[in-house]
Amino acid sequence: MVDPTSSTPSPPTQQINNNFDGLIGATYFGALISILSSDNGTVPPFSATIFLPRDPALDRPVPDPLLLPYHVVPQRLSFSDLLLLSRRARLPTLLTGKTISVTDNSPANFSIDHIPLIHPDLLSTPYLAVHGIQSFLNYSSDSG
């Protein structure tokens, strides 16, 4: 018999995967699966924020492998945390050398890289925050 108090906690990646099970059927599900199942080292770190584009194209594989790491910030930021950031604040991403810029920090029109945040705190755990955004961010343009 297993003592429930002695069970070992799930590794962070497994906990993240378990949290996404509840999002089956959401329009963001395809993107979540793509992010978590990628084999290119883009699995979120222990603490992360994911900016998830709402786009019908997410039902197909993402053609640019650099696109997904650009949508992940290696720090958990709830919507209330994001609102504390100043306009033009830079957020590091998992894409080396690339940052996301806060272009509007007002609660009603919050945007990053000029893309509106349309579903704040879509998913929020102690280690992960997921926010829905209008469309893909473009890592090749300087939005600052």
- Per-residue pLDDT at 22: 40
Helix (H, G, I), strand (E, B) or coil at 13: helix
Residue-range domain boundaries for the chain: 10-78+117-133
Is 76 within 8 Å of 48 (Cβ atoms)? Answer: yes
Cα–Cα distance, 101 to 28 (Å, whole number): 22
Q: What are phi and psi of 140, to 5 degrees?
A: -85, -10
- Per-residue pLDDT at 70: 93
Whether 137 has a pLDDT exceeding 60, the answer reads yes
Residue range 5-14: mean pLDDT, rounded: 43
In the structure, what pLDDT confidence band is assigned to residue 102 with cuts at 50, 70 and 90?
Answer: very high
Q: Report pLDDT digits (tens) over 11-59.
A: 444 444 444 444 433 444 455 545 554 555 555 557 899 998 876 655 5
* More confident call, 34 vs 80: 80
